């Protein structure tokens, strides 16, 4: 009789299991943040500081969890954030992640630094809604080549990461001497004929590049890495269809505030013109509901999906997403909400 291995039951257990299975250098690559990891810790801590204040006797009925976004509908307000190098966690890599996202009716943002080409990700999960994450390369003809690949693969939006004019310095990577993918793995989306280009994080990228991208494609553009409310108006003026409040999971500049703490001022600056999403430190359904109460249209998770993938491949990643979906439904129900639209800022309270 064959037995199916037992999967962990909590987010913490998923991370422990992933840590036990991964090469320590790869675990630290996934887990680590920049500098003293102040921002990395701040993201989760901000959720813990906030308490929920449910409403009662609203007769809301069974809650619905789906949300409509510029790049399509998601069955739950928890998307898969773009993360690099999934084949370090599981041989199927991004194919497994896409199937796990599709099984939970959610959207996967496919990293430009993926270890499976975007066409193969799409082919592995034909029902998945994919958004393609792009680092605009200063070589704009090459950037266009990558955009055309994402379009041809059927991606429904471009997620342009704007928090990376340089690569963040992560001391855990330095300690292991982790610089490159092992032999046999590469960034398949960076293929250029027989060669694979390195990803350039360029300080020369400016709003004019967003304008050029806007002219290049009809896909909605999501700007990922907006933290300062002063950047919201220009983002809208330059044609962003949505904003993703993100500090890159604390992996770029250290000592940025928690994303949850910048969500209210960014939402206020957007003033309903575009939906605002958030990532960073989301681990439980209650975290999701807190962000939605403060005005997020949806959230995304990075590391939790990697832990699922490392602990149990496609099945592990799918379980992590299914747990989050069940927790969101439960938290909405216990808050007296029929849908995310019933949440509002009066339903969260700072405790310290």
Ligand X SMILES: Cc1cc2nc3c(=O)[nH]c(=O)nc-3n(C[C@H](O)[C@H](O)[C@H](O)COP(=O)(O)O)c2cc1C
Q: How many CB atoms lie within 10 A of CB 142?
A: 14
Q: Judged by CB under 6 A, does residue 87 bind ligand 173? A: no
Residues 108-167 that bind ligand X (CB under 6 A): 111, 113, 133, 161
Q: Judged by CB under 6 A, does residue 199 bind ligand 173? A: yes
Q: In the numeric block, which tokens belong to residue 182? A: 């092992």
Rounded to whole angstroms, the Cα distance separating 122 from 116 reads 10
Rounded to whole angstroms, the Cα distance separating 189 from 122 reads 13
Q: Is 251 annotated as a binding residue?
A: yes
Identify the CA nearest to 291 among candidates 276, 306, 312. 276
Rounded to whole angstroms, the Cα distance separating 75 from 282 reads 17
Q: Judged by CB under 6 A, does residue 84 bind ligand 173? A: yes
Partner touching 199 among ligand 173, ligand X, none, CB below 5 to 8 Å by kind: ligand 173
Only one of the segments 182-190, 248-256, 286-294, 324-332 lies at the binding site for ligand X (rule: CB under 6 A); that segment is 248-256
Q: What is the smallest separation between the CB atom of 282 and ligand X, expressed in angstroms?
A: 6
Answer yes or no: 86 catalytic.
no
Partner touching 100 among ligand X, ligand 173, none, CB below 5 to 8 Å by kind: none
Q: Can you list the alpha helix ranges (DSSP code H) found in 177-302? A: 207-216, 232-237, 259-270, 285-293
Q: What is the smallest separation between the CB atom of 228 and ligand 173, expressed in angstroms?
A: 20
Q: Is 329 annotated as a binding residue?
A: no
Q: Judged by CB under 6 A, does residue 251 bind ligand 173? A: yes
Q: How many CB atoms lie within 10 A of CB 107?
A: 27
Q: What is the smallest separation between the CB atom of 58 and ligand X, expressed in angstroms?
A: 31
Rounded to whole angstroms, the Cα distance separating 299 from 142 reads 30
Q: Is 111 annotated as a binding residue?
A: yes
Which residue's CB is nearer to ligand 173, number 81 or number 262? 81
Q: How many CB atoms lie within 10 A of CB 199?
A: 17
Contact pick of 65, 115, 246, 286 for ligand X (by CB under 6 A): 246
How many positions of this chain bind ligand X (CB under 6 A)? 22
List % helix, strand, coil for the chain (3-state, nearest 5): 45, 15, 40
Q: Is 87 annotated as a binding residue?
A: no
Residues near ligand 173 (CB under 6 A) are 84, 113, 199, 248, 251
Q: Residues with catalytic annotation?
A: 248
């Amino acid at each position: 009789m064959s037995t199916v291995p037992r999967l962990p039951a909590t987010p913490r257990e998923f991370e422990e299991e992933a840590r036990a299975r991964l090469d320590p250098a790869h675990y630290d690559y996934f887990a680590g943040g920049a500098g003293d990891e102040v921002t990395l810790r701040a993201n989760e801590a901000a959720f813990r500081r906030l308490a929920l204040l449910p409403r009662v006797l609203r007769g809301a009925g069974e809650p619905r969890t789906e949300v409509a976004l510029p790049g399509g509908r998601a069955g739950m307000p928890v998307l898969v954030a773009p993360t690099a190098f999934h084949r370090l966690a599981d041989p199927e890599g991004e194919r497994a992640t896409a199937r796990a996202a599709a099984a939970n009716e959610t959207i996967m943002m496919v990293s430009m630094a993926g270890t499976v080409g975007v066409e193969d990700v799409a082919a592995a999960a034909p029902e998945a809604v994919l958004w393609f994450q792009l680092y605009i390369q200063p070589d704009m003809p090459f950037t266009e080549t990558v955009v055309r690949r994402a379009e041809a693969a059927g991606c429904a939006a471009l997620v342009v990461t704007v928090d990376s004019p340089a690569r963040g310095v992560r001391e855990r990577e330095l300690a292991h001497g982790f610089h490159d993918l092992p032999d046999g793995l590469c960034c398949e989306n960076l293929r250029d004929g027989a060669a694979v280009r390195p990803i350039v994080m360029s300080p020369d990228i400016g709003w004019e590049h967003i304008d050029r991208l806007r002219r290049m494609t009809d896909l909605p553009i999501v700007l990922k890495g907006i933290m300062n409310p002063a950047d919201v108006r220009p983002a809208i003026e330059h044609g962003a269809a949505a904003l993703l409040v993100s500090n890159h999971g604390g992996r770029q500049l250290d000592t940025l505030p928690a994303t949850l703490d910048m969500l209210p001022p960014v939402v206020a600056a957007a003033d309903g013109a575009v939906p605002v999403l958030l990532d960073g430190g989301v681990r439980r359904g209650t975290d999701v509901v807190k962000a939605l109460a403060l005005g997020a249209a949806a959230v995304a998770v990075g590391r939790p999906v990697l832990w699922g993938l490392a602990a149990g491949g496609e099945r592990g990643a799918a379980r992590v997403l299914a747990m989050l979906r069940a927790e969101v439904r439960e938290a909405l129900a216990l808050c007296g909400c029929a849908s995310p639209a019933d949440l509002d800022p009066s339903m969260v309270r700072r405790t310290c």
